[in-house]
Amino acid sequence: MSPIGSNPVKPFPFGLGSAPPLLGAEAVITRPAVPFLPMTSTEKHQLGWEECDIIIVTGDAYVDHPSFGMAVIGRLLEASGFRVGILAQPDWTQVAPFRELGRPRLFFGVTAGNMDSMVNRYTSDHRLRHDDAYSPDGVGGKRPDRAAIVYAQRCREAFRDVPIVLGGIEASLRRIAHYDYWSEKVRRSVLVDSKADLLVYGNAERAIVQIANRLAAGQPVSSLRDIRGTAYVSNIPREGFEEVDSTSIDTPQELALPVNPYVDTTTLQTECSASLPSVTGAAGGDVALGALALTRKTRRSNWQKTVIRMPSYEAVACDPVLYAHASRILHMESNPGNARALVQRHGDRDVWLNPPPIPLTTPEMDTVYELPYARKPHPAYGAAKIPAYDMIRFSITIQRGCFGGCTFCSITEHEGRIIQNRSETSILKEIETVRDKVPGFTGVISDLGGPTANMYRLACRSPEIEAACRKPSCVYPGVCPNLNTDHSALVQLYRKARKVPGVKKILIASGVRYDLAIRDPDYVKELVSHHVGGRLKIAPEHVSEGPLSKMMKPPITNYDRFKELFEKYSREAGKKQHLIPYFIAAHPGTTDADMLELALWLKRNGFEADQVQTYLPSPMATATAMYHSGKNPLAKVTRTSEDVEIPRGLKVRRLHKAFLRYHDPKNWPILRQTLQRMGRSDLIGDREGCLVPAEHSGRSIGSRPKRSTTNRFKTQHIR
């Protein structure tokens, strides 16, 4: 049975290497797009459907808006000719809700939602959150912990023979053995635990359309082994691929050690209480590590048919140094222009990761964002408010991806380092759509942005260099000389957007990468003069070189320069505006002395943070590898390589949080004790420059310190 087309779309040219078109030429109009994808059997029958080709199971409420993953994938599959249903936040405690729409003809698409379910459910202090911005009325508890696994298991119980395809950020960041902060151990790939057939990681549009078309053409799911941006479990080697041990790329041990510590065994226990025994090398055979010290040049000839053998799950679960090494290899192989396939043993099976997806072209991005979204929640929610929707309903996404490479952030791991841009025409058209279709529009576009506000149209000056580069960041330790930092295309877009009839104001709510902005003062002037609603968020994250170097963030002097420009252009525009700097407490590489330096900086600048957040180790991030291993995977990892200071344990993490809230009387006792321990009793008292008052001063625990007059805004929210 061939797919039924719904929209005419021509295939587009593609960038790196070869890639199938986003929408095939076979997509032909035979029926209009539905107002909403059906969520119940009644809705399905009202559309005249006997069955759904694909059913998407999601942990979010169904909002038909391009900021919600289930809507993007659902509408794209619809445009490719498939009948798509949505099971939004089904009751996972029983199987019946997963049979609501019947048996899908092709596959279940399973996603935890726009957030990792554990990040969504728990704070960095392991406390339970009672709200959920992606649920009706913000009520928490509508999705299970580790939702991708639970949903996949229920789908399998409902219809045992239907293929299951995982996607979304939870699956994307757990596609390989990963450290899990909430269980404080290394967990297996989510593919293994969920028993899904395929996993789609990163931007999934191209891969999911391929999967649907090939399944519709009668190919078994077990044959879908060559799709970029996918992962699968197999115990059969891929024909024609040369396997290379990861130790030949980046040696994780001292060469003097006699035995390669990598394992490929089904008998090694996951929970290790002793050091690893002498075991088989990852590429086979008991080998001395020095014998595997091959140069990269010998392995470059046929990289598209090369697979890198990572240390096994059992090995990285037992040895944090090997975990850091595996993380380094994973991030080195993240450029779609040169990334090789990766394979990691889990017991007696391999988890195979194909290279990352090829970025969408501008015409393809336009197609995705111009699909016929209703741009509002499904009518089934009635008058219920969905906070995440209320936040973004008047915003416009202009690009995807981020080349910043911040180690604590998951954007790069999920969306990639190559910026994918929409055209001016498409963006302006969407502004008009918001103006005409979205209820409650008052003339204010709340954001024109993306993962970063000001990376639109920025890219490497040389496609050849871009395709060959393995650097984790284009802007650290400094801005790469090959990076184009000309913001003129973005300035032009802002000016045209302001002229759209019916638009009174265009705000920029996405975070501005200020180290890029200061290279183009004309952009800063345009931004400050027209697009700041009184306050602008930026993220220096810290002021000390120690933590900044582990975050891959620029020196605080870049912030100082941006602040000068911000204040200058605010004065010239006759506006009183403020910068809202974000900071992170307890990030790997941060000492008590670093947090004291930050607290003193905050006080000197008159900042008082009412809400702060300590660092949360998200799955697969580079900083998470630091947190777990105590090693720095930004450089070669060995037993004797750089050790990273890790603020571990609730006591230390809460102390670092207290430094950020130095002005809160509840934190004064612990700060006094810490300052005395650090030999900085000179910072206790009511003198100028003191951080906290003396214990028996006139200021009691119930009082608050007098606010600084150097910065008049009252509070700031810090991530």
Q: What is the mean pLDDT of residues 474-479?
A: 95
How high is the mean pLDDT of the chain? 88
CB 293 within 8 A of CB 287: no
Inter-residue contact 222 to 216 (CB < 8 Å)? no
Judged against a pLDDT cut of 50, whether residue 104 lies above it is answered with: yes
Rounded mean pLDDT, 649-663: 95
Check if the beta carbon of residue 624 is closer than 8 Å to that of residue 643: no
Is 344 in contact with 620 (CB distance < 8 Å)? no
What the block records as the tokens of 99 is 């049979």
Q: Determine the pLDDT at residue 274.
A: 37
For residue 139, give every residue at least 6 positions away whose Cβ sits within 8 Å of its Cβ, in sequence order, or none: 131, 132
Q: What is the pLDDT of residues 482-502, one digit of tens each?
A: 999 999 999 999 999 999 999
Phi, psi of 637 (to 5 degrees): -95, 125
Asked whether the predicted pLDDT for residue 313 surpasses 80, the reply is yes
Tokens of 162: 């239907």
Q: Which residue has the higher pLDDT, 610 or 276?
A: 610
pLDDT above 70 coverage of the chain, percent? 86
pLDDT band at 66 (very low <50, low <70, confident <90, very high): very high
Q: Is the pTM of this model over 0.85?
A: yes
Weakest-pLDDT range from 153-162, 239-248, 345-354, 512-521: 239-248
Range with lowest mean pLDDT among 135-144, 146-155, 164-173, 278-287: 278-287
Percent of the chain with pLDDT over 90: 80
Least confident of 390-399, 409-418, 440-449, 631-640: 409-418
Across 389-414, average pLDDT: 94
Q: What sign does the CA torsion over 387, 390, 391, 393 have?
A: positive
Which residues make Cβ contacts (< 8 Å) with residue 521, sequence separation at least 6?
A: 565
Contact partners, residue 518, CB within 8 Å, separation at least 6: 524, 558, 561, 562, 565
Burial of 26 (0-12, 13-18, 19+ CB in 10 A): exposed
Sign of CA dihedral 449, 452, 454, 460: negative
**Greater confidence, 163 or 710?**
163
What is the mean predicted confidence (pLDDT) over 675-688?
95
**pLDDT tops 60 at residue 397:** yes
Indicate whether 474 pLDDT > 60: yes
Is the pLDDT assigned to residue 414 strictly greater than 60?
yes
Please name the helix (run of DSSP H) or strand (run of DSSP E) that holds residue 408, with its range, or none: none
Is the pLDDT confidence value at 175 over 90?
yes
CA dist 290 and 253 (Å) reads: 10
Gap between the Cα atoms of 667 and 672, Å rounded: 9
- pLDDT surpasses 70 at 688: yes
Residue 391 pLDDT > 60, yes or no?
A: yes
State yes or no: pLDDT of 142 exceeds 90: yes
CA distance 354 to 224: 11
pLDDT one-digit tens code per residue, 255-306: 333 333 333 333 334 345 433 333 333 333 322 222 223 333 434 558 889 9
Domain ranges of the chain: 41-234, 242-347
Each residue of 88-103: pLDDT tens digit?
999 999 999 999 999 9
Helix (H/G/I), strand (E/B), else coil: 659 = helix
Asked whether the predicted pLDDT for residue 711 surpasses 50, the reply is no
Q: What is the pLDDT of residue 596?
A: 98
Residue 589 corresponds to which tokens in the numbers above? 């590489």
Mean pLDDT value across residues 324-346: 96
- Reported as type and span, the H/E element at residue 468 is helix 463-468
Question: Average of pLDDT values for 333-346?
Answer: 96
Domain 41-234 sits in CATH at 3.40.50.280
Angle between helices 424-437 and 362-369 (to 10 degrees): 10
Residue given tokens 């929209």 in the structure block = 7
